[in-house]
Amino acid sequence: MAESNTAENNTASVATLQSEASVPHSLTQDDDKDTLPYTHFSARYRALIVTIAAITSLVSPLSSNMYYPSIQRVRDDLHTTQSGITWTVTAFTICMAVTPLFWSNLADRIGRKPVYAASMFIYTAGSIGCALSKSLTALVISRIIQSTGASAVKGSGAGTIADIYPRERRGTALGIYYLGPLVGPCIGPLVGGYVGQNLGWRWVFWILTIWGGTMCFVAMFVLPETHRRMVSMKHKIQQTNIPKPFSIRNNNPLVDLALIRYPPVYISLYFFAMVFGTYVVNLVGLALAFEDVYRLSQGASGLCYFPVGAGAITGSLSSGRITDLMLRRYQRRQDVEGGQRGSVSPETRIRLTWISGTMFLVSIALSGWIINRHWSLSALLVVQFFTGLGMAFSFHSLASYLIDVFPLKSARITGVQNFYRGMWGAVVVQLFPTMLDSINWGWTYMILVFIAVPGLAGIQFLVSSGEKLRHRFGPH
């Protein structure tokens, strides 16, 4: 009987989430005086909130990428093997994929502010543990604690943006927020390499400790609570799109993983995961290529990450603005034609993804062959700009699309997409050295491109049929 009740509860939880995606969501009439306001916060206060969320989101990529340049020195200091020290990376990556599911569920239940504060406290404690570690076991455990704290921002940050911005303005804000996760991998190796070389690898973690402690203070005393239901209750105001109160049967965060059965989710997540995994492999591959193929110093290698970082910044900012403009343009067209207000589908958000996705995959293929044939470093850096541009535009468009489909569970759907793309990223990064040894740079990158191509076709299918899929597979 207990198992039957659990199954019914889990099914109900999935149905609740799916019901939000079964119909097109309204574009909030934020500027219409005859309707309720979307948010309690002023424009300046919202800009401050987005800035805090973006800065906090840097902890995850910096914790990974500032550590990489010093990993060989850590191995020597702790007297361990190469396979042993790899566990400090693998444990961090797996934890980063799994724990956001629990943080995102918690953020939707108790609010964003407590999750920010608690996670940054845990992150700071883990960073201190890393800096003081005297053995491999202590370092691995500390990295798990550090990753647990850093991972919370991935879902909570996206949820915060959805709390304070209506859909037709959300893309620009998300573009700013995603600058942290996308740019962090580019500046992390440069900063980490310099600090590790001049101050020692433990100072990498002391700097991260200072960063985490500062963000914990900001979360506790500066960042407001943004959860829409809690803001409405606290200030006794009415807003649009208020989530329903928490139900005990929705308490299991693992239930959210069942959303992979829902066609718009698994179609978009396939390409999402391919883009993310290939991009991470590209960053790891650049570190090897700069050192082994182009014989650059550690400092020069760090500087060579700037083109891909500049492309990522351009893609993230432009994607939000362009897709927001597209949503408003389609809405104005429907208003003129007498259509229903708010009937623009979320699939509008991914209409240009085939262009950015193609740019990304072509750039990856070119990068592989440029490295394989030892062609000009300048050519590689130019191609890497377009790699970052295509990746960031695609990444942002797909993330925004999933939030538009599930606006009242934005943190939880972000946790789900982070789980699947994170697990794929961990797998492909582990396979990358073996693939490189077995074949070569060019064909290794081509294999990754071939795996991703069906996902790009799937995105085009979503653009044309996504609305029908949401109606057909939603609960009746």
pLDDT, tens digit (0-9, with 9 covering 90-100), for 279-319 = 888 887 887 788 788 988 766 777 788 888 888 888 877 88
Q: Are residues 313 and 228 in the same domain?
A: no
Is position 35 within any domain?
yes
Domains identified in the chain, total number: 2
283 and 415 in a single domain? The answer is yes
Neighbours of 377 (CB within 10 A): 17
By mean pLDDT, which of 164-173, 175-184, 237-246, 317-326 is the weakest? 237-246
Whether pLDDT at 447 is above 90:
yes
The closest of 149, 58, 155 to 106, measured between CA atoms, is: 155
Domain check: are 219 and 269 in the same one?
no
Same domain, yes or no: 159 and 265: no
- Round to whole Å and give the CA distance between 398 and 419: 15
CATH of residue 405: 1.20.1250.20
Yes or no: say if 403 and 168 are a contact pair by the CB < 8 Å rule.
no
- Summarize pLDDT for 258-268 with one digit per residue, the tens: 778 888 888 99
The average pLDDT across 127-156 equals 92
Range of the domain at 170: 29-241
Indicate the pTM of the whole model. 0.74
In tens, the pLDDT along 329-339 reads: 777 776 655 55
- The predicted pLDDT at position 123 comes to 96
Q: If you write DSSP's letter for every residue of 393-458 in order, what string do you get?
A: HHHHHHHHHHHHHSGGGHHHHHHHHHHHHHHHHHHHHHHHHHHHHHS-HHHHHHHHHHHHHHHHHH
pLDDT at 7: 44
* Residue with token string 């029908």: 468
Helix %, strand %, coil % for the chain, to 5? 80, 0, 20
With 90 as the cut, is the pLDDT of residue 361 above it? yes
| Boundary of a domain, candidates 241, 269, 291 | 241
Specify the pLDDT at position 250. 53
Give Cβ neighbours of residue 378 (< 8 Å, ≥ 6 apart): none
| Shared-domain flag, residues 229 and 311 | no
Three-class DSSP category at 244:
coil
In a domain, 276, yes or no: yes
Residue 67, burial from CB neighbour count under 10 angstroms (0-12, 13-18, 19+): buried
Higher pLDDT, 241 or 356: 356
Q: Output the pLDDT for position 21.
A: 41
What is the C-alpha separation between 132 and 139, in angstroms, rounded? 8
User: Does residue 473 form part of some domain?
Assistant: no
- Mean pLDDT is highest, among 18-22, 51-55, 207-211, 247-251, for 207-211
* pLDDT average, residue stretch 97-110: 82
CB distance 344 to 417 below 8 Å: no
Question: Which helix or strand (DSSP H or E) is residue 161 part of?
Answer: helix 136-164
For residue 148, pLDDT beyond 90: yes
Looking at the structure, tell me whether residues 177 and 308 fall in a common domain.
Answer: no
The CA distances from residue 446 to 391, 434, 442, in Å, are 16, 15, 6
**Is residue 295 assigned to a domain?**
yes
Closest by CA to 177, choosing from 150, 147, 148, 155, is: 155
Query: Residue 372: what pLDDT?
Result: 93
Mark whether 182 and 291 lie in a shared domain. Answer: no
Cβ neighbors of 237 (< 8 A, separation 6 or more) are 37, 40, 231
Q: What is the pLDDT of residue 23?
A: 36
Across the chain, what does the average pLDDT equal?
Answer: 80
- So what's the pLDDT on residue 120? 96
pLDDT given for residue 179 in this prediction: 75
Determine, yes or no, domain membership for 1.
no
Query: Is 117 a domain residue?
Result: yes
Task: At 106, list the tokens.
Answer: 């918690």
CA distance 241 to 168: 14
Same domain, 229 and 272: no
| 177 lies in the same domain as 309 | no
Q: For the purposes of burial, counting CB atoms within 10 Å of the CB of 39, is it exposed (0-12), middle (13-18) or buried (19 or more)?
A: buried
Instruction: Tokens 């798990």: give the residue.
Output: 144
The last residue of one of the domains, among 211, 241, 271, is 241
Domain final residue pick, 241, 275, 291: 241
> Span 209-222, mean pLDDT?
94
Percent of the chain whose pLDDT exceeds 90: 27
Mean pLDDT of 422-444: 85
Shared domain for 169 and 268, answered yes or no, is no
pLDDT for residue 31 is more than 50:
no
Q: Annotate 206-242 with b (16+ C-beta within 10 A) or e (fewer).
A: bbbbebbbebbebbeeebbbbbbbbbeeeeeeebebb
What values do phi and psi take at 222, rounded to 5? -120, -45
387 falls within a domain: yes
Handedness of CA 442, 187, 191, 137 (dihedral sign): negative
pLDDT top residue among 257 and 213: 213
Q: Is residue 148 part of a domain?
A: yes
Q: Are residues 219 and 293 in the same domain?
A: no
pLDDT one-digit tens code per residue, 40-77: 788 888 889 988 988 888 888 889 878 877 877 888 89
Verify that 79 and 149 share a domain, yes or no. yes
Across the range 83-110, mean pLDDT stands at 82
Any idea which of 126-135, 230-239, 292-301 has the lowest mean pLDDT? Answer: 230-239
